[in-house]
Amino acid sequence: MKYVLPFLLLLFISIANPAAAVLPDEIMSDPALEQRARAISRQLRCLVCQGEDIDESAAGLARDLRLLVRERLRAGDGDAEVLAFIQARYGDYVLMKPPVKPATYLLWSTPALVLLGGLLILFRRLRFKPAEGG
Amino acid sequence: MKRHILALLPLLFFIVLVALFTAPLLRGTDPSRIESAMIGKPAPDFVLPGVLEHERPFERADLLRQDFALVNFFASWCVPCQAEQPVLTRISDEEGIVIYGVNYKDNRDDAVKWLKQHGNPFTATGYDNAGRVSIDWGVYGVPETYVVNRGGMILYRHVGPLTWQDYNAVIKPLLRKG
């Protein structure tokens, strides 16, 4: 019985999908292009709401950018070109994933540094206190 | 002894975090105001129909007619824009700065009425109903004000309503420097 609640919670979390804000009139007739548009949209930040990507944001600017992404795809742009097109106007911040460059080296290396630090602490503990607790 | 120092680590970590988060607050920088990617770049190419009936189109070539121009993005549905309009009028009247207005995603009749009601300091206006030209400028909300030099280069962007203090502290020195 005591497992029911956690189980339900996990179930809900697993079936919960981030809601997309794409409106029917935005969807492209070519499903392959539409799929690419959705994937690109998920990589672009909504600058109005800032925590959301443009695929899930209901803001007007997000809709305009979704339409622009589709317009560029229809014109034959590659995925990287579309991203670069938006980035040229709105800067790195519009990318959900910050680009790797000198200013973000620390940001990108933090997980590895933390892992390394943890391993180091663990290693020292195991080495220098073998008798403790045993 | 070593253990005591280790016990202090979380506190130290906390203090560093607090300092990190408080500093921008004290400095008064608003993290939701994003630095423009267009600064130092040429203004995008555009031609927009004028908002008012008798107006000619507003286009990029207009930006090259004076040493400096402000390009203000506004809308009749934008409340902060109302607060800003007297400031723009003052900058135009007292400082003799040429200001262009781009009407962002608006209804034309509403925009015309709004300009009549709140004043029209704009040398020319552009009607950007689709918001497409504004996207080329990197606009992500109204009001936004851009400073452009005679070469058509974007020097600065102000996000949010421009105050007289903002103008004097940031924009005016920029115009003097060139």
pLDDT in tens, chain B (178 residues): 667 888 899 999 999 999 998 988 888 777 777 889 999 999 999 999 999 999 999 999 999 999 999 999 999 999 999 999 999 999 999 999 999 999 999 999 999 999 999 999 999 999 999 999 999 999 999 999 999 999 999 999 999 999 999 999 999 999 886 5
**Contacting residues of B for A87, CB less than 8 Å apart:** 37
Number of residues that this document lists for chain A: 134
Size of interface A-B (CB pairs under 8 A): 39
Q: Do A91 and B140 touch (CB under 8 A)?
A: no
C-alpha angle B167-B170-B176 in degrees, rounded to nearest 5: 95
pTM confidence score: 0.82
Residue B65 lies in a domain: yes
- Model confidence at A111, pLDDT cuts 50, 70, 90, reads very high
The answer to whether residues A47 and A70 belong to one domain is yes
CA distance B48 to B60: 9
Task: Please tell me the predicted confidence (pLDDT) of residue A6.
Answer: 86
- The per-residue pLDDT for range A42-82, each reduced to its tens digit, is 999 999 888 899 999 999 999 999 999 999 999 999 999 99
Distance from CA of B122 to the nearest CA of A (A): 25
The answer to whether residues A10 and A62 belong to one domain is yes
Residue B26 lies in a domain: no
In terms of residue numbers, what domain contains A130?
100-134
The answer to whether residues A12 and A47 belong to one domain is yes
CA distance B84 to B71: 13
Q: What percent of chain A has pLDDT over 90?
A: 64
- Integer-rounded Cα Rg, in Å, for chain A is 22
Task: Please tell me the predicted confidence (pLDDT) of residue A69.
Answer: 97
**Could you say which of B32, B132, B140 has the minimum Cβ distance to residue A90?**
B140
Contacts of A35 (CB under 8 A, 6+ apart): none
Residue B28 lies in a domain: no
3-class SS at A66? helix
3-class SS at B68? strand
**pLDDT for A16 beyond 80:** no
Find residue A21's DSSP bridge partners.
none
Contacts of A100 (CB under 8 A, 6+ apart): A108
Question: ipTM beyond 0.90?
Answer: no
- The per-residue pLDDT for range B93-121, each reduced to its tens digit, is 999 999 999 999 999 999 999 999 999 99
Q: Which CATH number belongs to the domain containing residue A93 in this structure? A: 1.10.8.640
The answer to whether residues A93 and A132 belong to one domain is no
**Contacting residues of A for B132, CB less than 8 Å apart:** 64, 68
Q: Do B131 and A93 touch (CB under 8 A)?
A: no
Task: Please tell me the predicted confidence (pLDDT) of residue A17.
Answer: 65
How buried is A26 (Cβ within 10 angstroms: 0-12 exposed, 13-18 middle, 19+ buried)? Answer: middle
CA distance B3 to B102: 63
In terms of residue numbers, what domain contains B89?
37-177
CA distance A28 to B83: 41
The answer to whether residues A88 and A33 belong to one domain is yes
Q: Which CATH number belongs to the domain containing residue B49 in this structure? A: 3.40.30.10
C-beta of residue A94 within 8 angstroms of C-beta of residue A54: no
Residue B24 lies in a domain: no
Q: How many domains does chain A have?
A: 2
Task: Please tell me the predicted confidence (pLDDT) of residue B177.
Answer: 67
CA-nearest of B163, B73, B152 to B172 is B163
In the block, residue with structure tokens 């499903």? A31
Q: How many domains does chain B have?
A: 1
CA-nearest of B158, B161, B159, B160 to B172 is B158
Q: What percent of chain A has pLDDT over 70?
A: 91
Q: Do B36 and A65 touch (CB under 8 A)?
A: no
Distance from CA of A48 to the nearest CA of B (A): 7
**pLDDT for A134 beyond 70:** no
For B43, the closest chain A residue by CA position comes to A89
**DSSP letter (8 states) at residue B40:** T
Residue B68 lies in a domain: yes
CA-nearest of A18, A21, A17, A29 to A70 is A29
**Could you say which of B105, B131, B140 has the minimum Cβ distance to residue A47?**
B140
